[in-house]
Structure formats: structure tokens, C-alpha cells
Structure 1
Amino acid sequence: MSTITTEELSATTLLRFATAGSVDDGKSTLVGRLLHDSKSVLTDQLEAVQRVSADRGQDAPDLALLTDGLRAEREQGITIDVAYRYFATPRRRFILADTPGHVQYTRNMVTGASTAELTVILVDARNGVVEQTRRHAAIAALLRVPHVVLAVNKMDLVEYKESVFAAIAEEFTAYASELGVPEITAIPISALAGDNVVDPSAHMDWYGGPTFLEHLESVPVAHDLSHCHARLPVQYVIRPQSADLPDYRGYAGQIAAGTFRVGESVTVLPSGRATKISGIDLLGKPVNTAWTTQSVTLLLEDDIDISRGDLIVPSKDAPATTQDIEATVCHVADAPLTVGHRVLLKHGTRTVKAIVKDIPSRLTLDDLSLHPHPGQLVANDIGRVKIRTAEPLPVDSYADSRRTGSFILIDPADGTTLTAGMVGESFAAPEPVKDGTDDDGWDF
């Protein structure tokens, strides 16, 4: 049986990125220009955009329509929901999320950037860094997005002046660095005219850096994540009814972090049983090594009781299990999250009952100050919570793993997603708060 090589698996890499910025900064136009100039738009899509643009009396196609897919968005000329697009160049595959700029759609930006390896924050060159720019920088820092691009857009409207770009880049870089953003790249562009989006601009010969697409194609994406502890949430137990494989028992899932190797000692949580990896199957073929984001099946030396929701980890890097979780959350539901709220907590492939024991603080996005003990979180709020789960969970810090350090809270009545959480993350150190009590049978 042939073995898949590392070279075959790494022929192209995937970059997930999100766009953010204030209203009318040109996010959708930038994405449209990127798709158009990189020849990633189908002919019928471009023809549809041309028809709608002509009906509006526009001389040129409105490329923003390539991502503003909802009728309400097209009619208003704004983005009100996260628009996802998939495209590829010879060097890389991309998944992009175009997020809204309105303050009331902050939760959408959190959703779009939560899985992103890069966030693009647009700034109108005429307006510079504004309140919403700082807000999106703070969210990118909180979500620990590894790479941030400052795209100074509409340079054509400021006569392509280097001084305007330099002042904006300096102000934003200083602010974002204080927030802890690890890497910031500033690029002057005109999404409408196409300057420095895919092709270098003839109007800004003073800029010697990469174009927007060149940066997207070259920014390092560490899917191996060797600095992270390896984690595999078990999604499915495979036992084929086949005479050729009478004893086959595999544990399938997508690797959430790190790398697994044949022969490695692993522990299954929450049971704590230890064994070794006897084989790894990927796309129906055996491999010796598998890493983050790959969907694999692990074969183990010992016959252990494992089911969906369990977590397979290296024995030397096994996380502690706990029923008490402190986290920063973004509330995404219209109904508020309150102290004493009974919820379901989904972590990886495992879902357990839980109670919100306390809400120590809420972040005021206007000035990044803290409002202590708000009692509840409403839609778009970001705050600190303390949660007690009915069963122990093997959780990592979000700083160590964005996948196994995150969770969602679900309404047990109708399955609505209430809140997205990041374990251990903190935008400040709130005062210690004594946990409340609960007398209705959910006090775990």
C-alpha cells in the first residue's frame, strides 16, 4: 500500500482571512477587486454584477456586489452579514470572510475572525484611524489572530500621498502593538482603482512593499503549530463490517492542534486511559505523521472504550480536566446571557450541561474600559464569565490553542447559539468575585 508524502500534502497551503473596518471603508470592494483581478470570478457572476451595476446607472461594475450577496445588502449598499468566499491562486488556497463594519454587527466580526489566521483592517485614507478601527484591532488582539494587515484604502482620493499613508500606519501600529498584536503589515491601496491589490501601483512608486495579494500568498501559515500541544477531538468511531478488516477500529476527527506520529504515547480524556498510536490513516492511505486541520483516523494499540466527544492527546502534554471555566466571551444571541443561566457548553465534539455562575465584567468597546458586574450580556457584548459544567472537560488556554481553548454556549431549549468563548483570555484583570449559588438542581 502506498504512503502519502509530506510534499504531496503540502503542495498548497490554506489561508483563512477576514476583512474588517468602518462602514464604507471599501471592504467588499477590496474583496471584489481581489477576486476580479486574480481571475477568481466566474463569467456568469461577473455578468450578473455588470447587469445590476448597469441597472443602477453605474458606468463600471460594482465589484462589492461579488460579496454583498443578500438582497437587503445590495439595496442598502452595505454589508450586514458575514460573506464567505473561496478562491485559489497557483500559490495558495483562500477562505475569506467579509465582515460588516457597523457597531451593532460586532458579533459578526468576531464570528468571521475567530478562525482566521490573518485579519485585514481597512482604513479610509481620508479619515485615518477612527473608533471602529481601534475596536476591530482590539478584537483581533483578543482573538489572537497571528497576522494583521492595515489596508489604507482610497489612496486615490488623497492624491496617493506618502505622508498620509505614513501617518496612518504609524498611529495604527503603535495602538495595535500596545494591544499585543504580534505582526502588523501596512499596505497603501485603492480597491476601486486596483492600486496595490493584485498589481503594483504606478501611482505609488514610493511604496516598495508587496501588493495585497502578494502578502496573502507569502504570509507564513503554521498549520503544523509545533508550539501547540497536539489535540484530536474524536468525531466518529470507525468499525467497518468487512472481512478484509475484521479487527479494524479507528477514531476519526480533525486534528485541532499540533502533530501526531505513529508510535507516540497518547492519553484519552476524560477517562485518562493511556495507549500508543499504531497507525494513522489519511484519505484512505497510511501516513507516519499528521498535523493541524487534517482529518484523520487514529489506530491505537489497546482496545479502549472511546466514543464521540473524547479527546486524544500526547501523554506528555495532557491538559488537566476541570468543571470550572473562566473565559472571555462574545454574546451573539438577541436574548441576554444572565447569571444563573442554564446552558449547554460545546467544546470540540463534546456537549455538556453548564451554568453561568458569574459575569465579573463587560468590556465597553467605545473606550475599552470595563464595566464591573453587569449581571448580563446582551447581543454584541464582550465580557468575562465563570461557568460550572456538569462533567469535567479537558480544556486548554485559548492562548495555547484557539481550537481546544474555545467553546460555544447553546440554549438547551431550542439549540440557539448564545455565546462564543475563549478560555482564560482576559482584556484586563477584574476583581475577584465570589461565585453565586444556585438552588434549582443545577448547582454542580
Structure 2
Amino acid sequence: MDILKFITAGSVDDGKSTLIGRLLYDTDSILEDQLEAIRNANRKNDDGTVDLAILTDGLKAEREQGITIDVAYKYFQTDKRKFIIADTPGHIQYTRNMVTGASGADLAIILIDARKGVIEQTIRHTFLVSLLQIQHVLVCVNKMDMVDYDQLAFDKIKDDYLRFSEKLSIPSIDFIPVSALRGDNIVDKSTNMSWYNGPSLLHFLETVEVEKGKASNVGRFPVQWVVRPQTDELHDYRGYAGRIVGGEFNVGDEVVSLPSGFRTSITHIELNNEQLETAAEGQSVILRLKDDLDISRGDLIVSANGESPNLTKDIEASICWMDVRPLDLSQTYLLQVNSKVSRVKVRDVHHKININTLDEVEADSFGLNDIGRVSLRSADELAIDSYVNNKATGGAILIDSRTNLTVGALMFD
């Protein structure tokens, strides 16, 4: 059974948390003690029914204010699929939280209030989804009960959304009219919208086909640890532990160690003391190689017969700034790509993006939640892919060496 990872995004009060709560409630995915807790909670809807948003609003401030602040992860499954949901904040103040939650998603659900239509925050959330290379977008036009389930209201929002999203090149966009509060088109088809012929939200999530990254067939293995027991039984043992982040590796395959460029072949693949012939993306294994090479934590082992990563010290990337202190061009930062950490300096700020209008704005620094493009210079030669091809080797975090805080998320070209 495969796993679908998706996020929900939308403006404040568009009903993200309620939609997830309804999905969990109507699929019987809530434990009895959780049900009892929300029944006893003080938050109720106007009609006296239980406020299902409580299920994902875990912080005290979220419950008090009725808004989403941090990313909340929920898990459920049906007979057809397992799901990991990230309920991400909609407010511009928490852009960095949304970027964090969306970075590993296969699909994004964008909520739009049927009464308000496409607004600036809709554009901003869609831009972020596009920036993070999420290939599938599902637009849920929520609160249809508040517009008397009017088809014209739904069609206008659909046309407006498609018009502005054309410039973002999102491969797949679908639309479902829903009422998270009433349960219309969440798990079962609604009888209030006979004009809608598409699937319910749950049926869509169970059946949507999610494509992997373009480089998923190219072997990528960042080394996390060099295994050298040096015991009497394993005196000459040398293995490289890590998780495969692209393609697959087979015993006998020729591989290249980067950045050194040395070539060798795989003699053993080990998982939990078992010998494997093949290991694929997502598996954490130990690779043993034919030759004793100088390979350290942070090096990248790649398939010799596939497209090679870009070896460079000069990097251009999109960035989301996550720190309250602005970017300091005179400061040396740390760049972490998987397990590789290197000292870098930001050499140039190309522009910021006004993510309400999608216009490029001239800038010389970045503040909290700003997004734009930068050029960096690394002290070490780095093996990287483009983010669109492989998120694991095409993305990185920027760390302030003074505080050890993550200050930026990067997506390489």
C-alpha cells in the first residue's frame, strides 16, 4: 500500500483544519478518547455541533485564536491508501511554516472560501506550491453551503484560479466544491450539488496518481556514516550507511564517489544484517564497495551510468528566509545538503518576489518570510541536482554559524 503525502493551504478561516477534521471524522479515523476530548471542548460551531478543527489545532494559541500557526501532521488510511496530512498555516506571518510542511508533499489542497473567491493569499499559496515543485494541486472551493451551493460561484472561482495560475506551470490542477462543515463532497458525494459530476475528496485522494521526480531513476546515495567496526571478526570491514534518495542500486553496479570522482563497484548491499541484491529509493542500507576509497560523511555515491550531479562551488538558488534577523551579506553561513555541511557566503541578492502579485522586486537583503533568488559561493565543491529533478539533492538549508539556527531554505536550479 503506497503513501500519499499532502498539505492543506488557504487563507485564515477558509476551513483547512475543519476539512481535515471532517475527513478524519467521516472515515472513522479518530480514537474514542480524542472524540470524547473534542466533545468536551469549549469550542463549538454556531449550530452547537463539535468544532472538528480542534483535531489539528494543537497549540494553545491556535485553540484560543481559532487559527493555524504551526504545521500539524495527521495520519490515516483506507483500504486503498495510507495518508500523511500536513495542515499548514495560511497567514503570511507563517510562510516559513508552510514551506516546511510543503517541502515533502506529493499533492497540495488549496482551499478557497466560496464567498471570497481568489484573493491575494490564494495567489501566494499557489506560488509557494509551484516553487516547491508540487506537481498536483487540488482546489477545494469550501463553504459552498454559505452560497446556497451555487454552481455559478464555483465556476467563477475555477476560471479566476486557472487564469492566474497559467504563468506558474503547475502540471495538474483539479477542482472540487465542498462544505467541510456539513460534509458535502468530503467522503461521500453531496446531494446538494447535483450539477457536480466529479469525485468526492476522499475518492480523489485514493485514486490520484502521483508521479515521482524526474531523477527518481538515477541512483543517489548521500553517505551519512562510515561503518568501521575494527573488531577481530570484522577487521577489514568498511561500509557506507545512508538512505537512497533516488533510483536504485544493485550488487555489481558501477558507481562514482563525489566530489572525488573515483569509480568503483558495489560488492554488498546490507539491510538489518541481511544481504540484498537490490535496494531502491527510500531504503536505508549499507553499501560496501570493491575498492577502499577515501569516502566520508557528506559525500555522494551515484550511479555511473546515469546523469551526473552538478559539481560546483558557485550556486544559484531560490530562497525562503526563515529568521527574524535579516540576511547579512558579510556573514559566513553554513549550507547543509543532506549530510554535507559547507561554509558559504551569499554573494548576490538578485531579487525578491512579491508573492501577492508574483512580481520581481529589487532587493539587497531578505527579512523574515521573504522569498527570492540569490547566488552563493561555497568553500567546498558540492554535488547537487536541480530541485525540479530531485528534491533531496536539489534542496538545502542555510544555517547561521553563530546561533546554529536554520535561517533559510534553498532550492537549486
Task: Tell me by how many angstroms 1:19 deviates.
Answer: 0.8
Aligned to 1:7: none
Superposed, which structure 2 residues align to 1:345-360 within 5 Å? Answer: 345-360=335-350
| 1:49 and 2:34 correspond | no
Task: Tell me by how many angstroms 1:226 deviates.
Answer: 5.7
Amino acid at match of 1:180: S
Task: Tell me by how many angstroms 1:311 deviates.
Answer: 0.6
Residue deviations 1:67-92, cap 9 Å, x none? Answer: 00000010001111111122222222
Amino acid at match of 1:235: Q
Question: Could you say if the C-alpha distance between residues 225 and 281 of structure 1 is closer, same or farther in structure 2, counting changes exceeding 3 Å?
Answer: farther
C-alpha separation in 2, matches of 1:352 and 1:396: 16
Aligned to 2:135: 146
| 1:62 and 2:51 correspond | yes
Contact 1:224 1:291 survives alignment (8 Å): no
Amino acid at match of 1:398: Y
| 1:327 and 2:317 correspond | yes
Task: Tell me by how many angstroms 1:326 deviates.
Answer: 0.7
Superposed, which structure 2 residues align to 1:178-327 within 5 Å? Answer: 178-223=167-212, 228-240=217-229, 247-316=236-305, 317-327=307-317
Aligned to 1:85: 74
| 1:36 and 2:17 correspond | no
Aligned to 1:3: none
Contact 1:53 1:60 survives alignment (8 Å): no
* 3-state SS of paired residue (2:40): helix
Q: 2:104 aligns with which of 86, 103, 115?
A: 115
Amino acid at match of 1:262: V
Question: Could you say if the C-alpha distance between residues 403 and 227 of structure 1 is closer, same or farther in structure 2, counting changes exceeding 3 Å?
Answer: closer
Contact 1:54 1:61 survives alignment (8 Å): yes
* 3-state SS of paired residue (2:179): coil
Residue deviations 1:289-326, cap 9 Å, x none? Answer: 33222222222222222221111101232223111111
Structure 2 unaligned blocks of 5 or more = none
* Cα RMSD (Å): 2.0
| 1:20 and 2:36 correspond | no
Q: How many residues align?
A: 412
Contact 1:155 1:189 survives alignment (8 Å): yes
C-alpha separation in 2, matches of 1:201 and 1:239: 61
Aligned to 1:157: 146
Superposed, which structure 2 residues align to 1:362-401 within 5 Å? Answer: 362-372=352-362, 374-401=363-390
Contact 2:299 2:340 survives alignment (8 Å): yes
C-alpha separation in 2, matches of 1:56 and 1:214: 27
Question: Could you say if the C-alpha distance between residues 213 and 230 of structure 1 is closer, same or farther in structure 2, counting changes exceeding 3 Å?
Answer: same
Aligned to 1:437: none
- Counting aligned pairs with the same residue, the percent is 50
Contact 2:6 2:105 survives alignment (8 Å): yes
Contact 1:228 1:401 survives alignment (8 Å): no
Contact 2:136 2:210 survives alignment (8 Å): no
Aligned to 1:435: none
C-alpha separation in 2, matches of 1:183 and 1:228: 22
Contact 1:325 1:423 survives alignment (8 Å): yes
C-alpha separation in 2, matches of 1:245 and 1:224: 38
* 3-state SS of paired residue (2:33): helix
Amino acid at match of 1:342: T
Amino acid at match of 2:92: V
Contact 1:224 1:258 survives alignment (8 Å): no
* 3-state SS of paired residue (1:338): coil
Question: Could you say if the C-alpha distance between residues 58 and 208 of structure 1 is closer, same or farther in structure 2, counting changes exceeding 3 Å?
Answer: closer
Question: Could you say if the C-alpha distance between residues 227 and 210 of structure 1 is closer, same or farther in structure 2, counting changes exceeding 3 Å?
Answer: same
C-alpha separation in 2, matches of 1:301 and 1:80: 50
Residue deviations 1:143-184, cap 9 Å, x none? Answer: 110111101111111111222212212221232232111111
Amino acid at match of 1:326: E
Amino acid at match of 2:249: F
Question: Could you say if the C-alpha distance between residues 182 and 54 of structure 1 is closer, same or farther in structure 2, counting changes exceeding 3 Å?
Answer: closer
Contact 1:191 1:197 survives alignment (8 Å): yes
Q: Bigger shift: 259-268 or 185-194?
A: 259-268
Task: Tell me by how many angstroms 1:242 deviates.
Answer: 6.7
C-alpha separation in 1, matches of 2:73 and 2:16: 13
Amino acid at match of 2:308: A
Task: Tell me by how many angstroms 1:240 deviates.
Answer: 4.7
Aligned to 1:442: none
Task: Tell me by how many angstroms 1:99 deviates.
Answer: 0.9
C-alpha separation in 2, matches of 1:211 and 1:234: 43
Aligned to 1:169: 158
Residue deviations 1:310-354, cap 9 Å, x none? Answer: 111012322231111111100011111122221000011111111
Contact 1:338 1:375 survives alignment (8 Å): no
Question: Could you say if the C-alpha distance between residues 13 and 244 of structure 1 is closer, same or farther in structure 2, counting changes exceeding 3 Å?
Answer: farther
Q: TM-score, normalised by structure 1?
A: 0.88
Structure 1 unaligned blocks of 5 or more = 1-11, 425-444
Aligned to 1:412: 401
Question: Could you say if the C-alpha distance between residues 217 and 297 of structure 1 is closer, same or farther in structure 2, counting changes exceeding 3 Å?
Answer: farther
* 3-state SS of paired residue (1:274): strand
